[in-house]
Structure 1
Amino acid sequence: MEASTLFLYVIAVSVVMMTPGPSMLLALSNGASNGMRVAAFGIAGAALSDLLLIGAVGCGLGALLQASEHLFSLVKWVGAVYLVYLAWVLWRAPTRMLSESHKPILATGKSAFLRALLVGLSNPKGLLFFAAFLPQFIEPTKPAATQYALLALISASVDCIMMLIYAFGGRLAMQRFSAGVMQWINRSCAGMLVILALGLSLYRRQPSG
């Protein structure tokens, strides 16, 4: 794969991943409510979902999801329901100032990892996006598996950097603002997750062929 192709992919995937989707909102909330250690577990879970999704695309699952209305609907509604559940958890989460406690108050590292992983895997838009996006950067004259693996590592790395920025921003907010402001941040994230869930429930596959 040419260096110019890789550079173009890094730019394109960075632009896409910097938008505040479910994984970014979870990173922001984890950084604010639980600290960078727990946020790091969540980031690892989201990065793993990137690797698994791109691996699935390389194995043809993206095309299968595009072709099967029933499978697409199942994954879509599972993802939407899970986002609503996460929104409910964030809405009800207790908040406090950093000076009150240094302990996590919402999630453990394990739960943050699993939540981020499930959010990534239960979103069919992510799988369909990679299925449509990645093949444009694959050179047909070279081994596809090696190229998919390289693009997967790049995607996961860029995603980690973006989520770290969100998590660090949440942590800074935790240090500077009152518990009331932090509750507003949590509930704003919850509201955006509900909006994303609604958008996911209305999402339709692009007609094939």
Structure 2
Amino acid sequence: MDFATLLLFVPACFVLNMAPGPNNLLSLNNAASHGFGASCVAGIGRLFAFAVMIGLASAGLAAVIVASEAIFNAIRWVGAAYLIYIAVQLWRSRPEEPDAKGEQTKANIVQLMRREFIVAAGNPKAILIFTAFLPQFVVHDRPVGMQFLCLGLVFLVLEWVAIALYGYAGLHLQRLLATPWARICFNRICGALLGVAGVALLVGRRS
């Protein structure tokens, strides 16, 4: 991969990383509810899911998943069901007590990471990105595996930056969420948006 290709790939990739979506909404909510650090650590779950997808794309297995209607729909349905489940959980959640918030955050880190992983892994659009977007920047007369590795690493670094930026935005939302009622409203707004994303994923058709 040459420098000119990298100059084209980085801005195009970063637009995808920063696009509003279920995972970025989770980062926003995690930071507002648990803090910036918790949001960034939880994002590791998303990065791991994307790393697996990049590995599948480089091995050609992702193309098989996209080509198989049954596998693709199964991933779509599971991902949609989990998004709706998270939406219901956020809608029904209650704000944590200030003095117990630190302990609660530590206890929930693994759960937050698992949530990020499942949302990322259950989104078939992410698979399409790695099977349709990354190959556009691969030069076929050079080692493909190494190019996928380099492009994948750049993608993951930029995704980490997006996680941090959304987390930073969510951190500043804490000032507006000083009251329990405000936090309940925020969780319900996030839950409603995730629910809409889940329904859209459930009823959407593959192009």
In the superposition, the TM-score normalised over structure 1's length comes to: 0.91
Where does the alignment leave 5 or more consecutive residues of structure 1 unmatched? none
How far apart are 1:176 and its partner, in Å? 4.1
Aligned to 1:78: 78
Q: What's the % identity of the aligned pairs?
A: 32
Moved more, 135-144 or 197-206: 197-206
C-alpha distance in 1 between matches for 2:32 and 2:199: 25
Aligned to 1:202: 203
C-alpha distance in 2 between matches for 1:9 and 1:203: 28
How far apart are 1:177 and its partner, in Å? 3.3
Aligned to 1:93: 93
Is the CA contact (8 Å cut-off) linking 2:176 and 2:182 kept in structure 1?
no
Which stretches of structure 1, 4 residues or more, deviate above 4 A after TM superposition?
A: 99-102, 104-107
Aligned to 2:102: 103
Q: Name the aligned partner's letter for residue 192 of structure 1.
A: L
Is the CA contact (8 Å cut-off) linking 1:24 and 1:163 kept in structure 2?
yes
1:203/1:103 Cα in 2 relative to 1: closer, same or farther (>3 Å)?
A: same
Count of residue correspondences: 205
Moved more, 138-147 or 40-49: 40-49
C-alpha distance in 1 between matches for 2:142 and 2:36: 40
How far apart are 1:96 and its partner, in Å? 5.3
Q: Equivalent residues in 2 for 1:30-41 (5 A)?
A: 30-41=30-41
Q: Name the aligned partner's letter for residue 177 of structure 1.
A: L
2:53 pairs with 1:53: yes
In the superposition, the TM-score normalised over structure 2's length comes to: 0.92
- Aligned-residue CA RMSD (Å): 1.8
Aligned to 1:7: 7
Is the CA contact (8 Å cut-off) linking 1:32 and 1:172 kept in structure 2?
yes
Is the CA contact (8 Å cut-off) linking 1:173 and 1:182 kept in structure 2?
no
C-alpha distance in 1 between matches for 2:12 and 2:80: 26
| Secondary structure, aligned partner of 1:65 | helix
C-alpha distance in 2 between matches for 1:47 and 1:140: 26
> Could you give the per-residue CA deviations for residues 12-37 of structure 1, whole angstroms, max 9, x where no partner exists?
11111212111101101110111123
C-alpha distance in 1 between matches for 2:123 and 2:58: 17
